[in-house]
Amino acid sequence: MISRNLTLLWRSQSIILNYMAKAMARSIALTAVALLVGFFGLVMLNMAGFYWLRDIWGPPGAAIGMAFIDFAIAAILLWAASRAADPQALEPAREVRDMAMAAVEADIDLMVEEVNQLRAEVLSIRDDVKGVVQNPSSLITPQMVMSGVSMAMRMMNKK
């Protein structure tokens, strides 16, 4: 029973970790590609925007305007990267893991109780053996004496 629960716990935990690793790798890959494409595109966009805005706002205003546009694009890309993983997808695996953990804990509690009972029985046997060794006459009970007397009388009657 405990091995089945431990196997279930191991499998559910590995599903959770595997999903989280894949989600993290996907998020990192998307972020890296977005940053690379964004960098090259941003360079070109900055150059075009700067030349276009330079005639309207002048060189300093064009540079500031392009910087704000760059920050907006970066914020959108970071938001998209943070939304790559769905935390609700792991809920069934977490429930199975929690149930398996509870079952393992119950099995361990049962085993501890059985070990404590076994210990009490061993101590009781030890005390009984110790009592017999210290006082062998304690083995003789009235029923044993009566059985012995009746057997002896039957044997005497047969002779």
Concatenating the DSSP letter of every residue in 107-146 gives HHHHHHHHHHHHHHHHHHHHHHHHHHHH-GGGG--HHHHH
Q: Would you place residue 128 in the very low, low, confident or very high pLDDT band (cuts 50, 70, 90)?
A: confident
Domain encompassing residue 89: 2-158
Quickly count: other Cβ atoms within 10 Å of residue 25's Cβ.
11
- 13 HSE (CA, 13 A, CB side): 10
Q: Tell me: the pLDDT tens digits for 11-53?
A: 888 888 888 889 889 889 988 988 888 788 878 878 888 888 8
Asked if pLDDT for residue 67 goes beyond 70, the answer is yes
Domain count, the chain: 1
